[in-house]
Amino acid sequence: MNFSEKLLTLRKAKNLTQEQLAEKLDVSRQSISKWESGQATPELEKITALSVIFNVTTDYLLKSSEIDDLSVKTEILEKQQQIMLIREQKQQQILGCILYSIAIYLVFFALYFIGHFHFWEWVSNPSVFFAGFLIATAVVIFVCVKKLSKK
């Protein structure tokens, strides 16, 4: 892998656009494009800055080595896998929160209707319904905060 391929791979792994990388290096987007296409090579100070931005050595950027290429690609894949795992865990937490919320509201409405039609006349008062709904909402918020704060 040559310098231009490494630069393109590293930039994409960091989810940076050519414009964003150009801003960090104080160069034009066209310069980044030329570096990535192999039409030009950056100055030494820019290569040093690139090594800092991408957290790699200047040797890695300039020398071709299969071991370095594999280790960087492995590191990039591991980071992407960690990000995907974190996203999936968050989605599972949110889904759990939604399901708990639905269950809590269903229990609230079931108790309200049972009480309203079979037992207590005072349950038909709108303020009692509203108070019960607020209590159910507080329980939902509490459950969701607990569910989403788990790591």
- pLDDT of 27-47, one tens digit each? 999 999 999 998 998 999 999
Which pLDDT score, from 0 to 100, does residue 102 have?
93
Half-sphere exposure (Cβ direction) of 42: Cα atoms closer than 13 Å: 28
Which pLDDT score, from 0 to 100, does residue 119 have?
65
Which pLDDT score, from 0 to 100, does residue 63 have?
82
Asked if residue 101 lies in contact with residue 136, where contact means CB atoms within 8 angstroms, the answer is no
pLDDT at 15 over 80: yes
Q: What CA dihedral angle connects 114, 118, 122 and 124, to 10 degrees? A: 60
| 100 vs 82: CA distance, rounded Å | 27
pLDDT tens sequence across 46-91 = 999 999 999 988 888 888 766 666 777 788 889 899 999 999 999 9
Q: What percent of the chain has pLDDT over 90?
A: 48
